[in-house]
Amino acid sequence: MSPLEPSRVQRPGAALAVVGRPIAENLRDVVPVAGVVGVFQLLVLREPFPDLGQTLVGLVAVVAGLTLFVQGLRLALFPLGDSMATSFARKGSVPWLLAFAFALGFGTTVAEPALIAVADEAGRARTLSGTGELDGGDYSLALRYVVAIAVGAAIALGVLRILKGWPIHRIIIGGYAITIALTPFAPNDAVGIAYDAGGVTTSTITVPLVAALGIGLSRSIRGRNPMLDGFGLIALASLVPILFVLLFGMAVG
């Protein structure tokens, strides 16, 4: 067991004392980005950095932020997802668990800044072209709700899958087959938004929580294997929105 395991850290003060090692690890995570940008800027484009001081300050902030974030994951998001999964399994109420799964997916997505940006952009393009039944503002709001409902439904479906022990590969392969089959029939701009939506729905806070939830559930339900049943929620959360947005695009034209 590593010394960073949260079970050994009793007080927040103690947590701050052990960030030494992750800083080296997080440097390793960030150095490649700095390296690629540096090489291309200096050797390929042959231009100096416009504001080297600011870039360096930014990089320090990136490394410090990542270090804090990863430490916070181990202290808060992982144990929280885990303990809630165990409590739900003990409570044994499937409807409440599914409601929680839906709320988590819906709530984390509807306010996601990246989604708001994509939806507003789509709404503006629509106002300009003047197509379809909905006007730009309504379209953008409707789109946000469609994607958020899709993510909620995806997490709920994924949780139900863990409870029932359905194999993930049938759902994913089948789902993508339907998605690809629908693509030629959906309007072009909906296709663009749909495939982008799959990418913006998996936010940095949602992913660790949802992963901990799935793994926690598969650990506390007898007969489930965390490796086989615990993963798969994130995959569903990036598949179902594509499907829903394609259908939405076909419905409103």
Partner 1 sequence: MPVVATSLTAGLAETVRGVLPIFCILAVFQFAVLRRKVPHARRVAAGAVMVVVGLALFIVGLETALFPIGRTMAEQLTDPEFLAGQGATAEGIEWWQYYWVFLFGAAISFATTLAEPALIAVGLKAEDVSGGTVRAWPLRVTIATGVSLSVALSMWRIVVGAPLLVFLIVGYVIVAALTTLAPKSIVPLAYDSGGVTTSTVTVPVVTALGLGLASTVPGRSELEHGFGVIALAVLFPMIAVMGYAQLSVVLGHRTAKRGRR
Asked whether the beta carbons of 119 and 144 are under 8 A apart, the reply is: yes
Query: Which of the ranges 8-16, 133-141, 243-251 carries the binding residues for partner 1, by CB under 8 A?
Result: 8-16
Residue 163 in the binding site for partner 1 (CB under 8 A): no
CB 225 within 8 A of CB 165: no
For residues 245 and 150, the answer to whether their CB atoms sit within 8 Å is: yes
- Tell me the Ramachandran region of residue 130: left when phi exceeds 0, alpha when psi lies from -120 to 50, beta otherwise: left
Nearer to partner 1, 5 or 135 (CB): 5
Closest CB 132 distance from partner 1, rounded Å: 15
* Residue 231 DSSP label: S
Instruction: Give least dist CB 80 to partner 1, A.
Output: 6
CB 169, min distance to partner 1, A: 5
34 versus 163: smaller Cβ distance to partner 1? 34
Minimum Å gap between C-beta 19 and partner 1 is 9
Taking CB under 8 A as the criterion, which residues in 82-141 touch partner 1?
83-84, 87-88, 91, 96, 100, 103-104, 107-108, 110-114, 125
- Would you give the DSSP letter of residue 109? H
Residue 239 vs residues 5, 184, 244: alpha-carbon distances, Å:
33, 17, 9
End-to-end CA distance of the chain: 56
User: Residue 170: CA atoms inside 13 Å, Cβ hemisphere, count?
Assistant: 4
Number of residues that bind partner 1 (CB under 8 A): 109
Residue 58 Cβ vs partner 1, minimum distance, rounded to whole Å? 3
Sites for partner 1 among residues 177-236 (CB under 8 A) = 177, 180, 183-184, 188-189, 191-193, 195-196, 198-200, 202-209, 211-212, 215, 225-235
The stretch among 130-138, 139-147, 171-179, 243-251 that binds partner 1 (CB under 8 A) is 171-179
Tell me the Cα Rg of the chain: 22
- Rounded to whole angstroms, the Cα distance separating 50 from 55 reads 9
- Asked if 92 and 114 touch (Cβ cutoff 8 Å), the reply is no
Binding mask 68-87 for partner 1 (x = CB under 8 A): xxxxxxxxxxxxx--xx--x
Name the segment binding partner 1 (CB under 8 A); options: 130-138, 139-147, 169-177, 243-251.
169-177
Phi then psi for residue 76, to 5 deg, are -120, -60
